[in-house]
Amino acid sequence: MAKNDSQMLNRELSWLEFNSRVLEEAFDATVPLLERLKFLAISSSNLDEFFMVRVGGLQQLLEEGRSAFDPNGLTTEQQLAEIRRRTERLVADQYQCLMKELDPELAVAGIQRLHIESLNPEQLAHVERIFTHDLYPLISPIAVKMLATFPLLPGLRLNLLVRLEPDKESPQTPRFAVLHLPRTLARFIAVPDPAKYTCIPVEEMVAAFVARFFPGETVVECMPFRITRNADLSVREDQAGDLLGHMREVLDARKRSNCVRLETDERISDAALAFLRQALRITFEQIYKVPGPIDLSAFWALVKLPGFDKFKDKAWPPQASPGVPPDATMFDIIARKDVLLFHPFQSFEPVVRFIEQAADDPDVLAIKQILYRTNENSRIVAALARAAGRGKLVTALVELKARFDEARNIEWAEALEHAGVQVIYGLKRLKVHAKVCIVVRRESTGIRRYVHFGTGNYNEVTARIYSDVGLMTCDEDLAADATAFFNAITGYSQPIQYRKIEAAPHGLRAKLIEMIESETERSKQGQKAHIIAKLNALVHRDVIEALYRASQAGVKIDLNIRGVCCLRPGVAGLSENITVISILDRFLEHSRIVYFLHGGEERVFISSADWMPRNLDRRVELLVPVEDSECRSSLISILKTCLKDTVKARRLLPDGSYERVKPARRGKPLRSQEIFYRQACELAQQAQKNRYMMFEPQLPAKTTRK
For 392, phi and psi rounded to 5 degrees?
A: -80, 150
Mean pLDDT on 140-147: 89
Q: Write down the pLDDT at residue 234.
A: 55
Q: What pLDDT, on the 0 to 100 scale, is given for residue 1?
A: 42
Average pLDDT over every residue of 620-624: 97
Contacts of 498 (CB under 8 A, 6+ apart): 481, 484, 485, 507
Class of CATH domain 503-688: alpha beta
Whole-number CA gyration radius for the chain: 28
**How much is the pLDDT for 696?**
59
pLDDT at res. 167: 85
pLDDT in tens, 465-494: 999 999 999 999 999 999 999 999 887 666
Cis omega (within 30 of 0) for bond into 141: no
Q: How confident is the model at residue 256 (pLDDT cuts 50, 70, 90)?
A: low
Locate the DSSP E strands across 409-491: 422-424, 431-432, 436-443, 446-454, 466-473
Query: What is the average per-residue pLDDT within 614-619?
Result: 94
What is the distance between the alpha carbons of residues 648 and 663, in angstroms, rounded to a whole number? 11
Predicted confidence at residue 242, as pLDDT, reads: 52
Percent of the chain topping pLDDT 90 = 79
Using the predicted structure, report yes or no on whether residue 163 has a pLDDT greater than 60.
Answer: yes
Strands 431-432 and 619-625: parallel
Average pLDDT over residues 96-117: 97
Comparing CA positions, the residue from 529, 497, 492 lying closest to residue 511 is: 497
- Within 10 angstroms of residue 621's Cβ, the number of other Cβ atoms is 25
433 is catalytic: yes
Q: Active site residue: 126, 133, 343, 433, which one?
A: 433
Query: How confident is the prediction for the chain on average, in pLDDT?
Result: 92
The winner for highest mean pLDDT among 358-367, 657-666, 694-703 is: 358-367
Cis peptide before 654 (omega within 30 of 0): no
* pLDDT class of 3 with cuts at 50, 70, 90: very low
CA end-to-end span of the chain: 82
Lowest mean pLDDT among 17-26, 442-451, 492-501, 534-543: 492-501
Lowest mean pLDDT among 234-238, 455-459, 545-549: 234-238
Tell me: the pLDDT tens digits for 352-379?
Answer: 999 999 999 999 999 999 998 888 899 9
- Angstrom CA distances, 307 to 123, 283, 303, 363, stand at 22, 45, 11, 49
Which CA distances in Å does 672 have to 467, 652, 669, 679? 12, 18, 10, 11
Chain segment 291-327, per-residue pLDDT in tens = 999 999 999 999 999 999 999 999 999 999 999 999 8
408: pLDDT strictly greater than 80: no
pLDDT score at 391: 95
402 pLDDT higher than 50: yes
Please report which confidence band the pLDDT of residue 236 belongs to, taking 50, 70 and 90 as the band edges.
very low
- Counting beta carbons within 10 angstroms of the beta carbon of residue 638, is it exposed (0 to 12), middle (13 to 18) or buried (19 or more)? buried
Looking at residue 404, its pLDDT comes to 61
Please give the pLDDT value at position 238: 44
Asked if residue 4 has pLDDT above 50, the reply is no
CATH architecture of 1-109: Up-down Bundle (1.20)
Please give the Cα distance from 322 to 677 (Å, whole number).
13
CA–CA separation, 641 vs 226, rounded Å?
Answer: 43
In DSSP terms, 458 is beta-bridged to none
Kindly report, residue by residue over 644-657, the tens digit of the pLDDT.
999 999 999 999 99
Fold category of 113-236+261-282 in CATH = polyphosphate kinase like (3.30.1840)
Dihedral class, residue 85 (left if φ above 0, else alpha if ψ from -120 to 50, else beta) = alpha
What is the full DSSP assignment across 517-584?
Answer: HHHHHHHHTT---EEEEEES-B--HHHHHHHHHHHHTT-EEEEEESS-B-B--S-TTTTTTEEEEEE-
Determine the longest span between alpha carbons in the chain, in angstroms.
Answer: 101
CATH of domain 330-493: 3.30.870.10
Domain with CATH 3.30.870.10 in the chain: 330-493, 503-688
pLDDT at 605: 98
Q: How confident is the model at residue 706, as a pLDDT?
A: 41
Q: What is the pLDDT of residues 321-359, one digit of tens each?
A: 999 999 899 999 999 999 999 999 999 999 999 999 999
User: If residue 477 lies in a helix (H) or strand (E), which one and from where to where?
Assistant: helix 476-490
**Whether pLDDT at 692 is above 80:** no
CA distance 66 to 47: 24
Report the alpha-carbon angle 82-87-88, nearest 5: 105
